[in-house]
Amino acid sequence: MKRSVWLLLILALVVAYPLLFATPFLQRLGALVLLYAIAASAWNIVGGYAGQVSVGHVVFFGCGAYASMAFYTHFGWPPIAAVPVGMMASIGIAALIGVPTLRLSGHYFSMATIAVAELARLIVTNIEALGAAVGLSGPVMPRTVFDLSFTSALPYYYLFLAVLLVVLGLTYWMENSRIGFYLRAIKDNERAARSLGVQAGRYKLYAYMISAGLTSVAGALYATMYGFIDPDSGLGILTSVKILIMAALGGAGLLFGPLVGAAILVPLEEISNNVLGGKGAGLTFVVYGAIIMIIARFYPSGLLRLVLDRLAAANSASSDKKVRDAA
Amino acid sequence: MLLEAINVTKTFGALTVVNAVSVSLNKGDILGLIGPNGAGKSTFFNCLTGDLLPTSGQVILNGEDVSVMTPEERAVRGLARSFQVPQTFETMSVLENVMIGAFLRTSDTAKARRRAYEILDLVGLVDVSSAVAGSLGTPGRKRLEIARALATDPDILLLDEAMAGLTATEVRHAIELVRKIHQTGMTLVIVEHIMEVIISLAQQVIVFHQGHQIAHGTPQEVTRDPAVVSAYLGKRAAANAARGFAGDPA
């Protein structure tokens, strides 16, 4: 009961944010936080719940982004109309990568996903129809409202919020159904899970495919907002790392972990880019590296888990005190 | 016939670890597997569960050849196990651990939770149902593994040294639990170091020595078998008798 009150309060704040902080910079910042929260929440399904750390999720992000731009460029579709195409392609690619690599344990899966992502970047860089090294652009002027091309970030903010709520809703449903339990069991101890009849390979693949499909939606939204995609922004390893770090920093395997991570990292990056200008681009890598080390060393289960544990400890301490006082 | 092993052989390279072992179990039987460390009993056990595939020979479960099936395929067909070193889901609660087992027979979370509570009640872990499995001690985790296996609603339960590392009192409680489970009509295979456990529980015993099955019979027959006495129990029984108890606590 208390938890739902808190959640409603936070949701109300999130809905009101772009109206309370009505500057273009802060609205755009809010929209970006939500966009990356979508991608990180999608990653969380396979990386957080199932414990299969994909470092190549940008492939799916790129799939969604490229599908929307390519179908606009070649067929004149509104960019957002190609979302199902991007999802289908991502799910197909996830199956192709997942079937051979999800048998690999631990780091080998991660390395395989990096290899595939880099391969995809190189291939796309050499395909003219996908804009090669230059990239693809969306509509310069909106033809209809369906092009979703706005100068203000406000419409994007609410669009991203709606998509994020769908992704989180799906994750919440999953968390409380058999597949969610099975994924956590596989993450904890795959051998034991299999002894209880859990088809570990199949469930990991399901998680990977669902995660891939949702990540591609984030890619399509990114391309729609920026109206442009190139191999670096759409398929660069930095985007993979960014998605992963947001989930890990906030709390992998927790429903709201990726959102917390995005709410910390996106402003950090935007502000450092603004302060440092173009020179800051390389520094981003250094910052990410440092964050990876700090999370791995001090908060392997993420900041949200830390806060939740502290709250739980404080609660039990205060209830202990109440018991003592009563006695 | 519920479970049948026919000439099960397992080799690792040139080393034969299990050599042509055969056994058959009817519903409600308890089979004990004993032998010194490295005798091949755990390897044979893992060939039954599917964690290892036999090099040759067959494993028949409920009339179906499961020799090359994976552990999860065997679990669906009614086989459940515990592990020598407990393999609980450390970050999940005791209840959630058991629910993973229950989910094999239902996809409904509420039903799985209800079934898990029933099992926890049976094994006496209801009081700690919300504790994280990683916070339990060895006896609790071994008990939890049995609960989790039972939740899959198996026809046969294989226990790999379920008593190892327990104190004498804990062993007594564990034996009571196994008896209780057996009374529900469960068929059991038990790997055990502790002789008194085997003698008090099993109806038939296979004695392993250097990969071979050197004896097979009731506990009484086996302990009187000259081959067993000389190869395995002889030295130990003598030593144990001198120390005043029957069995190796390790």
**DSSP string covering A273-324:** HHHHGGGHHHHHHHHHHHHHHHHHHH-TT-HHHHHHHHHHHHHHHHHHHHHH
Confidence of residue A326 (pLDDT cuts 50, 70, 90): low
What pLDDT was estimated at residue A131? 87
Q: Are residues B53 and B32 in the same domain?
A: yes
Quote the CA–CA distance of B91 and A185 in Å, as a whole number: 9
Q: Are residues B191 and B69 in the same domain?
A: yes
Question: Chain B: nearest CA to A254, how far in angstroms?
Answer: 13
Q: Are residues B90 and B62 in the same domain?
A: no
Q: Which domain holds residue B245?
A: 1-77+157-163+186-250
Residue that finishes a domain, picked among B153, B178, B197:
B153
Q: Which domain holds residue A194?
A: 28-326
What pLDDT was estimated at residue A95? 95
Q: Are residues B72 and B85 in the same domain?
A: no
Cβ pair B81:A197 closer than 8 A: no
Q: Are residues B212 and B147 in the same domain?
A: no
Question: Strand runs (DSSP E) across A203-263, as ranges?
Answer: 228-229
Cβ–Cβ under 8 Å, residues A223 and A10: no
Confidence of residue A279 (pLDDT cuts 50, 70, 90): low
- With CA atoms as reference, report the closest residue to B59 among B178, B191, B184, B156: B156
User: Which residues fall within 8 angstroms of residue B15, CB to CB, at 6 or more apart?
Assistant: none
- Kindly state the tokens that stand for B44: 């044979």
Residue B18, helix vs strand vs coil: strand
Least confident range from A50-64, A268-282, B101-115: namely A268-282
Most confident of A315-319, B41-45, B144-148: B144-148
Q: Is residue B177 part of a domain?
A: no
A178/B contact by beta carbon, under 8 A = yes
Q: Are residues B133 and B65 in the same domain?
A: no
Q: Is residue B26 part of a domain?
A: yes
**Smallest CA–CA distance from A202 into chain B, residue:** B72
Cβ–Cβ under 8 Å, residues A228 and A137: yes
More confident residue, A292 or A154: A154
Q: Are residues B42 and B2 in the same domain?
A: yes
B49-85 pLDDT per residue, tens? 999 999 999 999 999 999 999 999 999 999 999 999 9
At residue A60's C-alpha, the angle toward residues A55 and A61, to 5°, is 95
Q: Are residues B192 and B72 in the same domain?
A: yes
Q: Is residue B179 part of a domain?
A: no
Q: Is residue A5 part of a domain?
A: no
Q: What is the CATH number of the domain that holds A266?
A: 1.10.3470
Q: Which of B72, B100, B148 shows the shortest C-beta gap to A181?
A: B100
Q: Are residues B84 and B126 in the same domain?
A: yes
Q: Is residue B170 part of a domain?
A: no
Residue pointed to by tokens 């051979």: A100
A79-124 pLDDT per residue, tens? 999 999 999 999 999 999 999 988 877 788 899 999 999 999 999 9
Look at chain A and report how many structural domains it folds into: 1
**Smallest CA–CA distance from B83 into chain A, residue:** A192
Q: Is residue A13 part of a domain?
A: no
What pLDDT was estimated at residue A306? 86
Mean pLDDT for the stretch of residues A151-162: 94
Residue A217 C-beta-side C-alpha neighbours within 13 Å: 23
Confidence of residue A1 (pLDDT cuts 50, 70, 90): low
Q: Are residues B193 and B71 in the same domain?
A: yes
Mean pLDDT for the stretch of residues A199-218: 96
Quote the CA–CA distance of B108 and A178 in Å, as a whole number: 7
Residue that finishes a domain, picked among B131, B153, B175:
B153
Cβ pair A199:B72 closer than 8 A: yes
Question: Chain A: nearest CA to B162, how far in angstroms?
Answer: 15
Helices (H), B69-165: 71-76, 94-102, 109-123, 138-150
Least confident range from A304-318, B27-41, B183-197: namely A304-318
Q: What is the CATH number of the domain that holds B16?
A: 3.40.50.300
Q: Which of A176, A188, A197 shows the shortest C-beta gap to B104?
A: A197
Mean pLDDT for the stretch of residues B8-20: 92
What pLDDT was estimated at residue B232? 62
User: Which residues fall within 8 angstroms of residue A120, CB to CB, at 6 or more apart?
Assistant: A59, A62, A235
pLDDT at A36 over 90: yes
pLDDT at A5 over 60: yes
Report the relative pairing of strands B79-81 and B187-191 from DSSP bridges: unpaired
Cβ pair A192:B87 closer than 8 A: yes
Mean pLDDT for the stretch of residues A284-308: 82
Quote the CA–CA distance of A197 and A81 in Å, as a whole number: 41
**Strand arrangement, sheet containing B204-209:** B79-81, B156-160, B187-191, B30-34, B204-209, B212-217
Look at chain B and report how many structural domains it folds into: 2
Q: Are residues B1 and B69 in the same domain?
A: yes
Q: Is residue A40 part of a domain?
A: yes
B79-88 pLDDT per residue, tens? 999 999 999 9
More confident residue, A139 or B244: A139
**Smallest CA–CA distance from A192 into chain B, residue:** B87
Query: What are the backbone angles phi and psi of residue B60, rounded to the nearest 5°?
Result: -110, 125
Q: Is residue A60 part of a domain?
A: yes
- Kindly state the tokens that stand for A256: 């709201």
Q: What is the mean pLDDT of chain B?
A: 89
B117-141 pLDDT per residue, tens? 999 999 999 999 999 999 999 999 9
- With CA atoms as reference, report the closest residue to A200 among A185, A211, A210: A185
Q: Are residues B70 and B110 in the same domain?
A: no
Residues of A in contact with B109 (CB under 8 A): 176-178, 181
Report chain B residues touching chain A, CB-CB < 8 A: 49, 51, 70-72, 75-76, 80-81, 83, 87-92, 96, 99-101, 103-104, 107, 109, 112, 148-149, 151-152
What pLDDT was estimated at residue B61? 96
Q: Is residue A287 part of a domain?
A: yes
pLDDT at B250 over 50: no
